[in-house]
Structure 1
Amino acid sequence: MPTETELKLHLEPEVVSQFKQHPLLQTATHTTAPQHLYNTYFDTVNHTLLQQGIGLRIRRMGEQRIQTIKSAGAGLGGLHQRQEWETLVSGDSPEYSQFPPEALPTWCHDENNLQQIVPLFVTDFTRMTWHLILEEGSEIEIALDQGEVKTPAACLPLCEVELELKSGSPTKLYQIALKLQKALPLRIENKSKAALGYALHQPQPPQFHKAGTLNLTPEMNAEQAFVAIIWHCIGHWQANEEIVLHSDAPEGIHQMRVALRRLRSGLNLYQSLIPKESYTKLHHQLKWLTTILGTARDWDIFTQHLAEIQRYADDSLSDLSKTIAELRRNTYVNVRHILDSSEYSRLLLTLGKWLTQRRWRKNMEMRALQSLEQPVSHFANQILPARYQKLCQQGEQLSKLNAKQRHSLRICVKKMAYATRFFSNLYPPATTLAFTKILSQLQEQLGILNDARTVTTLFNQIHPTTASSTRQLLKKYFKQHQDENLNQLAKIWQNFLEQPPFWNLTTE
């Protein structure tokens, strides 16, 4: 039961010849001539196997037929890791008896279910490969695939580079990808060929994705938990790429920005163990990307509130509405341009390399290394009380805080909320749910109050003059809700102070 580890990169067809001449490929110990690969993928029309986390295909190479089952696996930072089983077959239909029992989900044990499995789509491409043996002995196969993904009704061009790890560390895949990308406009491809085929067979509008559950376990040490946290945030981030690239739905931008804020919060959370000096450049790049997304998110907020005001205002806001729509559209174009750039993929590749290489360990003293190896529960029991104390101090005299100070409190609440959700699986759910719920309520209420500050700032960018009937209308709109929101915030804050910290409940 081998595990396939590969990095996928999209390549524009017009630079294929340039790719083939890259100096790195000239060092290959072995090169194969172009080979035609014709792959038929099987599932039910409702994608039952996909829902079971299984991919089933038959590859035709000349007269040979190879059937393969792959597990769902992970696709983060372009890196795909899956278990796979391969067997020779005599024809173009699956022979399920050839697979070991553990390769097939329970659903496949029923012969009636197997009858529902049919060919869904085809990948038809030509592959060239280069086999590299690196100085320290790692082996990597580089494949160039050019062709099509096809269903009876649609077709999608395919041009991608796959770096498959034959032996060694996944870090080497990132290093090779970064070397290639210095000369070529390579972009990370997180969708497998199968995923492209499924999307072509049954097109669906892009969906936004929330963070989901992070499954830390008490057996992990602090460093293992850190790596899991950052990969989880990257997964949340990249899960929203499609909706940001192909939809104007505001939730996509919002979730991608949340993912980046969670990631940066995770880095900050571990600053006592993993100093910022070990990722200074990454820190600046992540902050830059978060700011770009934040600008787009701010115009979304303005758009949403303006639509609410227009419900009871006259047509005097129509010109402002058109201006806001144009500015929002421009920020989305800018975001998409960045996500489609080599620089963006380079950021993800560099982050993946940093995580797999654990670069922060370089030049660490023994005592610091030992701190990384402490149980994650010990680290959580240190960091959560510290965050809690800082939050309580920030919220003292809540009723006297101005808008800027409330914004600082909001950031503090978010950091507490992210830390709580990162480590919540280490504690009994009954003790964490109430605490997490109150933090969510605080976030929401402070967010509503901060919207007035955001909208006012953006309006000042468009119309800096003070005498404006529209300005007065906006001020009146937010003032109508402010007192009620402040009263609600005070109640939630009091509930928060009365809620016993869950880490105390489990350590007493």
Structure 2
Amino acid sequence: MGYEVELKLSIDKVDAKKLHLIPLIVNSCVNKPTKNKIISIYFDTPDLILLDAGITFRIRQKSSKWMQTIKLAGTANSGLHQRNEWEDLVSAYHPDFTKIKEPSLIKFFADRKLRASLIPIFRTEIMREEWFLSFDNGDQVELSSDSGLLKSNQFQEPINEIELELKAGNVGRIFEVALALQKTIPLRIENNSKAKRGYEYFRPNSLQTFKAKLPALDKNIDAHTAFKIIATECINHLEINRDIVLMDSDIEGIHQMRVALRRLRAAFALFKDRINSEESSLILTEVSWLANQLGKVRDLDVLITETLPIISGYSKNHNGVLVLSKHAKQARQVACKDMQEAIMSQRYHRLLLTLSSWLENERWLKVKYKNDHFKLLNFAKKSLNKSYKRLLQSELHFIDMQPQDRHKVRIAAKKLRYAMEFFYNLYPTKQIDPFIKKLAKLQDLLGQMNDINVTHGLLRSISKTTPSASLNDAISAYQAWGRGKIKQECSKADSALKKLLKVKLFWIDIKKY
């Protein structure tokens, strides 16, 4: 059994020729690049039993040899594919079940009916050029450039990609190699394997949105291991919603990508005492750039789906509402185009590669903490205390606060909630759930007030570009509603905060856990 760790990158066919000119490849390659035609045949049953079991069964011809490969589903995050695999030489392109030695796979393929029903379902035909890269610290990477076709019945699609497979050393090396390639070749992180793309012809996956997952943290790990897990989960949350946002600018997908970036920034703030500031500040600048691209569309979505229906309720058939709706939708189209171009840009992919390299190579960790294994449970207690105190800094009622001060309280509530979600698995659910529930209520109320203030700004911007009396009347109607709504929400927020303060601070006595 082997454990495959590889990064997949899509490129344009014409750029593959430039690989020979990249200094890192020239200086690190220990052999002359080899070129081979490779035919890979993927097997499954007509009803896709292997796919359902998370198994890929492939027989590949390279030169005069046939190699049978079985892979488990594994993970695919930000282009990094990690999974168990078993490879064996076979005599022909037919499955050879005698080669299978893994007990669980022996049991699975013992079913004679399953064996008899296995058929070729799709294939790939590619020309592969390979370089073996070796580095002074012992890291070894196999770089493959693939160009060819994926064929399934009467359908076919081009394959033009680079695979960077880690053969030895630190996984961070392959992200560094990718960044070096990107200086010469435009590339895109590829989250879909060839097998997944082939299966799409048999069982198309409908695009969907994904909410953030709770990081899989254990109370016995140290703080810097926790940061790496948390940040990686934020990157995964961002990337898993990319396709649906690129495909149709899905409202919820955009929201989830924004949430992923907010959670990432919250993680940076939570662990800032341990993070090197120079490179992290550059990364956060890029994160803010991307968040701004998404935020422009998100603010217009709130205007179109939430605010305009409210204005319509106050001013039915009002010409100003129709004008406002028209211009808001036009503005969204422009903002969506800019957002999608940003997500497809090299700047976006460079951000993800830089983040992953920074994390995997632990460039983020301050030198003085390299050998400090501060227990996560103690770190969580300290962090939650600090975040909780920030939330309680103001003694004013919300109605007496300026909008910017309410916004600061909202940010503090949001950061505390994200911290609790990051550390969720460290505490009993019966203690953390009631706190998060009441905190979420406060956050939602403050969020609604913030949306009203943001919308005010959007409306003023639209009115400046297309001034009219009817439009001003519609905006005035919304502003009157907004003032009344904020007054109501302030009262509810005061009540929500009082209820939150009555909940026991579950993280204080960590000895119980």
TM-score by length of 1: 0.92
1:153 Cα deviation (Å)?
Answer: 4.8
- Name the residue aligned to 1:385: 385
Tell me if structure 1 keeps the 8 A contact 2:44–2:119.
yes
Q: Return the offset for 1:471.
A: 0.9
Between the aligned partners of 2:422 and 2:251, the Cα distance in structure 1 is 25
Identify which range, 184-193 or 49-58, moves more after superposition: 49-58
Q: Kindly state the Cα deviation for residue 13 of structure 1 after the two structures are TM-superposed.
A: 1.4
CA contact (8 A) 2:276 2:363 kept: no
CA–CA distance in structure 2, aligned partners of residues 422 and 43 of structure 1: 39
Cα distance in 2 between the residues matched to 1:354 and 1:71: 28
- SS of the equivalent of 1:122 reads strand
Are the equivalent residues in 2 in contact too, given 1:431–1:505 (CA < 8 A)? no
1:478-489, aligned counterparts within 5 Å? 478-479=482-483, 481-489=485-493
Q: Is 2:377–2:510's contact at 8 Å kept on the other side of the alignment?
A: no
Q: 1:38 to 1:506 in 2, by over 3 A?
A: same
> Bigger shift: 87-96 or 212-221?
87-96
Seen in structure 2, the aligned counterparts of structure 1 residues 395 and 142 have a Cα distance that, compared at 3 Å, is: farther
Further displaced range: 226-235 or 88-97: 88-97
- Asked if the contact 2:311/2:474 (under 8 Å) is kept, the reply is no
CA distance in 2, matches of 1:105, 1:455: 61
Counterpart in the other structure of 1:228: 229
- Aligned to 1:358, the other structure's residue is in SS state coil
Letter matched to residue 409 of structure 2:
L
Q: Which amino acid aligns with 1:301?
A: V
CA separation in 2, counterparts of 1:507 and 1:399? 40
Deviation at 1:286, TM superposition (A): 1.4
Q: Note the C-alpha offset of 1:244.
A: 1.2
What are the within-5 Å matches in structure 2 for residues 292-331 of structure 1? 292-309=293-310, 312=313, 313-314=316-317, 316=319, 317-331=321-335
Shift of 1:267: 1.0
Please give the residue correspondences for 1:321-360 in structure 2 after superposition, counting only pairs within 5 Å: 321-360=325-364
- Higher deviation after alignment, 380-389 or 288-297: 288-297
Matches of 1:90 and 1:103, distance apart in 2: 24
Secondary structure of 1:127's match? strand
SS in 2 for 1:205: coil
Deviations 1:357-384 (A, max 9, x none): 111346x23xx445x4111111111111
Pair 1:446 & 2:450 matched = no
Q: Which moved more, 1:437-446 or 1:232-241?
A: 437-446
What is the identity, as a one-letter code, of the residue corresponding to 2:401?
L
Q: 1:474 aligns with which of 475, 478, 485?
A: 478
SS in structure 2 of the partner of residue 504 of structure 1: coil
Distance 2:31 2:275 in 1: 41
Task: Judge conservation of contact 2:59–2:66 (CA < 8 Å) in 1.
Answer: yes
Supply the AA of the counterpart residue of 1:330.
Answer: V
What is the CA distance between 1:171 and its match in structure 2? 2.0
Match of 1:194 in 2: 195
Q: In 2, Cα distance between the equivalents of 1:153 and 1:451?
A: 51
Go from structure 1 to structure 2 and tell me whether the alpha carbon gap of 1:433 and 1:64 turns closer, same or farther (over 3 Å shift). same
Change (3 A) 1:200 1:401: farther
The alpha-carbon deviation at position 259 of structure 1 amounts to: 0.4
Per the alignment, in what secondary structure is the counterpart of residue 364 of structure 2? helix
Q: CA deviation at 1:458?
A: 0.8
Deviations 1:388-424 (A, max 9, x none): 1111224652342233222221111110011000011
Greater shift, 204-213 or 408-417, is seen at 204-213
CA contact (8 A) 2:43 2:121 kept: yes
Q: Which residue of 2 aligns with 1:504?
A: 508
Which runs of 5 or more residues in structure 1 are unaligned? none
Q: Paired residues, what number? A: 504
Residues 1:4 and 2:17 are matched in the alignment:
no
CA contact (8 A) 2:399 2:491 kept: no
Distance (Å, rounded) in 1 between the aligned partners of 2:325 and 2:118: 51
Query: What letter corresponds to residue 294 of structure 1 in structure 2?
Result: G
For 1:333 and 1:105, locate their aligned partners in 2 and report how far apart those are by CA, in whole Å. 51
TM-score (norm 2): 0.91
Residue 387 to residue 241, structure 1, CA distance change in 2 (3 Å): same
Contact 2:122 2:150 in 1 (8 A): yes
Residue number in structure 1 paired with 2:413: 413
Amino acid of the residue matched to residue 343 of structure 1? R
- Per the alignment, residue 78 of structure 1 pairs with 79
Deviation (angstroms), 1:102? 4.3
Query: 5+ residue gaps in structure 2?
Result: none
Cα displacement (A) at 1:19: 2.9
Q: For the Cα contact (< 8 Å) 2:215–2:230, is it kept in 1?
A: yes
Shift in Å at residue 64 of structure 1? 3.2
- CA shift digits 1:220-245 (9 cap, x unpaired): 11111111111111111111111111
Question: Which amino acid in the other structure matches residue 192 of structure 2?
Answer: K
Letter in 2 for 1:435: F
Distance in structure 2 (CA, Å) of the matches to 1:59 and 1:65: 6
1:462 corresponding residue in structure 2:
462
The question of whether the paired residues in 1 share the 8 Å contact of 2:45 and 2:117 is answered with yes
Q: Which amino acid aligns with 1:346?
A: R
Distance in 1, Cα, partners of 2:121 & 2:423: 42
Contact 2:312 2:318 in 1 (8 A): no
Write the deviation string for residues 12-50 of structure 1: whole angstroms up to 9, x where unpaired: 112222234334433422234432222222345565544
In 1, Cα distance between the equivalents of 2:49 and 2:304? 40
Residue type at the aligned position of 1:201: F
Q: CA deviation digits over 1:55-77, x for unaligned, max 9?
A: 22222335533221222223233
**1:238-264: per-residue Cα shift (whole Å, max 9, x none)?**
111111111221111110110011011
Q: 1-side partners of 2:117 and 2:480: how far apart? A: 62
Give yes or no for contact 1:30–1:130 (8 Å, CA) kept in 2: yes
Is residue 283 of structure 1 aligned with residue 287 of structure 2?
no
In structure 2, the CA distance between the partners of 1:111 and 1:450, relative to structure 1 (3 Å rule), is farther
Aligned mates of 2:385, 2:204 — CA distance in 1 = 47
2-structure distance, mates of 1:109, 1:439: 53
**Post-superposition shift, 1:341?**
1.5
What is the alpha-carbon root mean square deviation over aligned residues?
Answer: 2.5
Report the equivalent of 2:495: 491
Give the whole-Å Cα distance in 1 for the aligned partners of 2:97 and 2:488.
Answer: 64
CA–CA distance in structure 2, aligned partners of residues 265 and 221 of structure 1 = 19
Aligned residue for 2:89? 88
